[in-house]
Structure 1
Amino acid sequence: MPSNAADLELADVTKAYGETVAVDHVSLKVPAGTYCCLLGPSGCGKTSTLRMVAGHEFISDGDVLIGNTVVNDLPPAKRGTAMMFQNYALFPHLSVQENVAFSLKMAGIGKAERLERADEMLGMVDMDAYAKRLPARLSGGQQQRVALARALVTNPTVLLLDEPLSALDPFLRIRMRAELKRYQREFGISFVHVTHSQEEAMALADMVVVMNDGRIEQVGSPREVYNHPKTRFVAQFIGGHNIVHEGASAYAVRADRIRLFAAQADGTTASPATVSDVEYQGMTIHVALKRQDGTALLATLPEHEFDRSPVSVGDTVQVGWNADDRHELAA
C-alpha cells in the first residue's frame, strides 16, 4: 500500500440547507485502499456527502477525518483529496498535457517538472499519444482518462468520483468500469465513487454504502448487500428481490430463487398465481406474477428452464420457493 494511503472517516456528519437536512448524522469508515461506492437514488445525500469530504460543501455538524487529521476547516487543496467530476470539467482551450498539469501549476511546481509528471500520468492511463490534443478532439472515454490523470497527478490520499460513468454509452461504461477498478488497484489509494447504478456499484466496489433520505441503510461487500439486505429499501433498490408480507412482517426472496410449478411441490411454500408478463432477456426470462392475495412477484428463470415448461400471460401456475431462500428484513 502506498505511503500516502489513509483511512477516511465520517463521524456523525450532518449537512443541512436551511430546514432541509440532506445528510443526517452519517458515520462511516473507509479503510485505506478501498473502492467504496455510495449508492442510492437521486436526493439521498450521496453527492452532498462526497462534496463535504472534498471540501466543496461546509459541514453543518460532525467531523471528516483523513488519517488522524480532522479536515473540516482545510481548503480542498490541503486535504489530500482529488475530485473527478461528472462532466470531467476539462479546460477546452488547454491541451491534454496542460489540463493534467494544471493543478501542479497552481501548486507552484516548475514547468519542466509538472509537464514531466503530466506525461508520466498520461502514460499510465494510455493517453500519452494524445498529449497535444484539445479535449474537443477526444471521445468520451478518452476525456474520462484525461480527467482521471488530472485528478491522480496530485498524488491524492483519496480520489472522489461523482457519477463519472453516467455520460458514457453502455458499452463504454462497462469497459471503463474495469479500467477504474484496475487503476484503483494500481494506485492503492481509496476511491469513493457516487452512483445511482446498482450494477455499477456491484461491479466496482469492495464496500457498498446504500443511502436513503440522508442516512446510511446498509454497509457491506456487494455480495453481503445483495444476498443479505437489511431493510425493505435495500432489497428493493438493489433489485432482484421480491418483498413478501406475512402478517406484520416482511421478508425478501431473490427473483432467481422463485420457482414455477404445474402443481404443489414438496419442500416449498407454493401458492397459485397468475402470469401478468413474460419478458425475454437472452440468458434469462423474467416472469411477472400476481398471487391471489395481491402480492406481485418476479421470477428470473434460466432460458433452458423456462423452455422446459413455458408459460404465457394469463396462465395460472403454482409459485413458490425453498424455506432457506427466505431472508428476513428489519422492521
Structure 2
Amino acid sequence: MAKENDVELVSVSKLYGTTRAVDSIDLRIRGGQYCCLLGPSGCGKSSTLRMIAGHEAVSDGDILIAHRRVNDDPPARRGTAMMFQSYALFPHLDTLDNVAFSLKMQGVPKAERRRRAMEMLDLVSMADYAARVPAQLSGGQQQRVALARALMTRPSVLLLDEPLSALDPFLRGRMRAELRRIQRELGIVFIHVTHSQEEAMALADLAVVMKDGRIVQAGPPREIFNRPATAFVAQFMGGHNVMTQGGRTVTLRSDAIRLSRGDADAHRRATVRDVEYQGPQVHVALATETGEDMAAILPERTYFADPFAPGDAVALHWAPEDLHHVAAEV
C-alpha cells in the first residue's frame, strides 16, 4: 500500500459548544485501505468524516493526509472528495454533464471534461446512460453517477457518508460489491461511514467502532468480530452473547452454541422464547434459568432435524475455547 496516501488523525476532537462529539481520537489509515467508521447514532463517526473532508473545523488535534497537516486547508486543497448520503445531482443536467460539472467550474475545455467524465462513467458501468437526466435513473444508478462525479477530481481519499442507506437490500448488496471493486481498481483510500455492521464487514480492510465520540476498537473486521474488545463491541457487532462466567464477562458467538433436549454436560439450561427462520440458518431466542437472554444460531438442516418450539426446555453446550473474555463496560 502506498504510504504517501496515509490518513492520520492525532488526538482529534470536535466540540459543539460544550458537547464533545469527538473525543481525542487517534487513527491511522494506510494508503489503499478501505476504512469503515461504524457505531450507533451520535457516536461521532460523521463528525470525524466531515473534519477529514474540511467541512467541519477541528477543535483540537491534527489531521494529516499524505504526511501533510491539512487542518487549515479548504476541502479543495486536501486531495479528498466526498460523496454525500443525498446524491444532490443537478436535475436539469444529463448524466455526462453532472459528472463533468466540477471540471467545468475549473475551466477545463468541454471536450476534455466530457472525455474524462466518460472514463468515470465507464468505471461505474454507467456509460450507456450518459444522456439521461437524474429523473430517468433508478436510485442505484443515481448513486453510481454521484460516485463518478466525486471521483472526477482524482482524489487520493474518497469520503462516503452512509452512501448505501437509501437503497433497498438487493441494491445495497450489489453496490457494496461495486464500491469494493472500484476501490481496488483505483487503489485509493476510501473512508466510509455506516451504522451497518454487515456493510462494514463486507467492505472494510480496517473497521473502526466508535462510541460516545471515542474509538473503542479498530482492526480487520474478522478480528473485531471474533475478538471484541468490550461487551459493547460484541453487542454492537451482533451474533454474540454477553454473559458472566466464573465471575468474568465473556462473549460467546451465537453460532457456537449447540442445543439439546437432555441435561447431560449442559453449560446452561434455558427455555426457548422464539424461533426465527432466516433461510440458511435459524435464530433461536433463549431465556436461561439464571435470567440471561441468549441466542443460538443453528444451520437450517440441523434445526429441522429436531426442531424446537417456544416453551421447550433445552440445554446449552459450547466448547470452552469459544468463550472470549472482554471488558465489562457497555
Answer yes or no: same fold by TM over 0.5: yes
Q: SS at the partner of 1:141?
A: helix
Q: What does residue 179 of structure 2 align with? A: 180
CA distance in 2, matches of 1:81, 1:189: 10
2:274 to 268, 273, 277: 277
Report deviation, 1:106. Answer: 2.1
Q: Any idea what the Cα deviations from partners look like across 1:69-114, whole Å, max 9, x if unmatched?
A: 1000000011000000101111112221111111112223222221
Q: What does residue 207 of structure 2 align with? A: 208
The residue type paired with residue 88 of structure 2 is A
Q: SS at the partner of 2:259?
A: strand
The answer as to 2:125 corresponding to 1:97 is no
Question: Cα–Cα, structure 1 residues 117 and 5, in superposed 2: closer, same or farther, change >3 Å?
Answer: farther
Q: What does residue 78 of structure 2 align with? A: 79
Q: Which runs of 5+ in 1 are unaligned?
A: none
Q: Any idea what the Cα deviations from partners look like across 1:51-76, whole Å, max 9, x if unmatched?
A: 00000001000011001110000000
Q: SS at the partner of 2:85?
A: coil
Q: Any idea what the Cα deviations from partners look like across 1:146-201, whole Å, max 9, x if unmatched?
A: 11110111110100000000111110110010000000000000100000011111
Normalising by the residue count of structure 1, what TM-score does the alignment of the two structures yield? 0.96
Q: SS at the partner of 1:288?
A: strand
CA distance in 1, matches of 2:319, 2:122: 53
Report deviation, 1:9. Answer: 0.5
Normalising by the residue count of structure 2, what TM-score does the alignment of the two structures yield? 0.96
Q: Any idea what the Cα deviations from partners look like across 1:250-309, whole Å, max 9, x if unmatched?
A: 11000001111222345xx52221111111111111111111110111000111111232
Question: Cα–Cα, structure 1 residues 67 and 5, in superposed 2: closer, same or farther, change >3 Å?
Answer: closer
CA distance in 2, matches of 1:105, 1:188: 26
Provide the aligned length of Structure 1 versus Structure 2. Answer: 328
Across the aligned residues of Structure 1 and Structure 2, the Cα RMSD in angstroms comes to 1.4
Q: SS at the partner of 1:294?
A: coil
Report deviation, 1:130. Answer: 1.6
Question: Cα–Cα, structure 1 residues 308 and 130, in superposed 2: closer, same or farther, change >3 Å?
Answer: closer
Contact 1:7 1:30 in 2 (8 A): yes
The answer as to 2:28 corresponding to 1:29 is yes
Report deviation, 1:320. Answer: 2.4
Contact 1:229 1:235 in 2 (8 A): yes
Contact 2:38 2:194 in 1 (8 A): yes
Q: Any idea what the Cα deviations from partners look like across 1:22-72, whole Å, max 9, x if unmatched?
A: 111111000000010001111110000000000000100001100111000
Structure 1 runs of 4+ with >3 Å offset: none
